[in-house]
Amino acid sequence: MFPGVEELQFPQLEIPLTINSISPILPSSPIPASNGDTLYLSNLDDMIGARVFTPTTYFYRSNGKPASVIINVLKEALASVLVPYYPFSGRLREIKDGKLEVFFGPNQGVLLVEAHSEMTIINLGDLTVPNPAWTNLVYTFPNEEEYKVIDMPLLIAQVTRFSCGGFSLGLRICHCLCDGVGAMQFVSAWAATARLSKLTVNPKPCWDREILMPHDPPLIVHPHIEFKRIEDGSSLTKSLWVVKPVQKCYRVSREYQAHLKSLAGNLSCTTFDAMAAHVWRSWVKALEVKPLDYELRLTFSVNCRSRLSNPPLKQGFYGNAVCVACATSTVSGLVNTHLSDTTCLVQKARLSISEAYLRSTIDFIQVNRPTRLEFGGKLTITQWTRFSMYESADFGWGKPIYAGPIDLTPTPQVCVFLPQGGDDDSDGTMLVCICLPEDASHRFTDIFCHL
């Protein structure tokens, strides 16, 4: 195993807890929306891949304050932040041709759940490694329909107090309202308001979804293979969905990432290009995908804020401003060639994203509006390493021990790159989390960790 990469372990456990209360949180003062008002969502906001809730959890050690004090601080700060971020207090509904919009009605607001557990933080094991066992620290409604976003609270927060005084904050934020950058902006405002005991929003939130309206008539200038439906004639999807996969996590040092980039042999490639290529190749090799001429796709999101100039997005825009990049290769093209070849495919896909591509994506969705997620031959990599998840989540009791996702197994064709958490400076160290069947997971470890 190359120095600098380590397979991480997490315990199999159950976290018994009791729900104490479920409270709606309304904006603390009047907002610029009345009952019956609506807000436009762009096609990037309500595309099929955004019609989900993104669950995350934050763990904090005891700060010596009673649970009631912590809850009140969070509630009051949240109510204050919901004034400038008032769209979070609305609901989604479907209108003409399946499009979504935000609408406002009486007594909506967001949801805050209070819970407690007799376990201690120490009982949970290594809190720097995401563990599917933490799922019940993020609230879901009884018998909640999978992927339901219509007529749901757009933010659901669960505060769980442990017997040692430590606690977790589990969040579900509707992806239709914000992308990762936007979610961090919201959490940062909430945390700063709690920490400073006064409303603090910097930058000022900006809605402006109308900037991303489609052309009339639509102008589609790219094939958008990222949305293409592919009949899966390979062993890939079946191997991942027939038996529930296992979640694997690896700690990858900055030195390993640099070494990987040097092996790619492309001076202009980024660390992400090389890491994504290595993960993709390792994943396909470990799954032993057949047939060899089957077409595969690697997709990943590209933040387009800096790419938009006509007109540019204002600072503080928190909506979805990402475009899906897509690299393609046959199975043979991945497993029988060099890392440098795959890295070039990833780099080419990333560099292909432009303002014109984003506008074409908006128009493609306007015309076709995909109604189901397509998994055929696909691995999706989500990069969270550039999000200030730890710095953004200091509510007045320090940075969290862990901040990030929990369970990837419900969507086993997703891999996440996370920043290293904990008490020490990560120095560029990342966590790679991915799902595979049990037998393939051992092969993946051997391939991924040995260069």
Catalytic residues: 175, 394
Residues 6+ apart with CB under 8 A from 134: 15, 57, 124, 168, 170, 406, 407
Tell me if residue 59 falls in helix, strand or coil: strand
Which H helix or E strand runs over 41? Answer: none
Q: Is 167 within 8 Å of 370 (Cβ atoms)? A: no
Residue owning tokens 């007799």: 118
Return the amino acid letter for 394. Answer: D
Tokens of 58: 């934050």
End-to-end C-alpha distance for the chain, whole angstroms: 8
C-alpha 360: how far from chain center: 24
Give the integer Cα–Cα distance in Å for 264 and 277: 9
Strand locations in 275-343 (E): 295-303, 322-330
Residue owning tokens 């971020």: 85
Cis-peptide, bond into residue 410, ω within 30° of zero: no
Question: Which phi and psi angles does 252 have, rounded to 5°?
Answer: -120, 115
Q: Is 308 within 8 Å of 273 (Cβ atoms)? A: no
Question: Which phi and psi angles does 306 have, rounded to 5°?
Answer: -75, -15
Tokens of 411: 């969507």
Return the amino acid letter for 197. Answer: S
Tokens of 320: 């979805």
From residue 111, alpha-carbon distances to 18, 41, 138, 211 in Å are 17, 22, 12, 30
Tell me if residue 209 falls in helix, strand or coil: helix
Tell me if residue 436 falls in helix, strand or coil: strand
Q: Pick from 285, 284, 362: which is nearest to 322 by CA? A: 362
Pairing of strands 167-174, 155-162: antiparallel
Give the integer Cα–Cα distance in Å for 314 and 360: 21
From residue 409, alpha-carbon distances to 42, 246, 338, 372, 412 in Å are 29, 7, 29, 19, 5
Give the integer Cα–Cα distance in Å for 274 and 258: 9
Residues 6+ apart with CB under 8 A from 64: 165
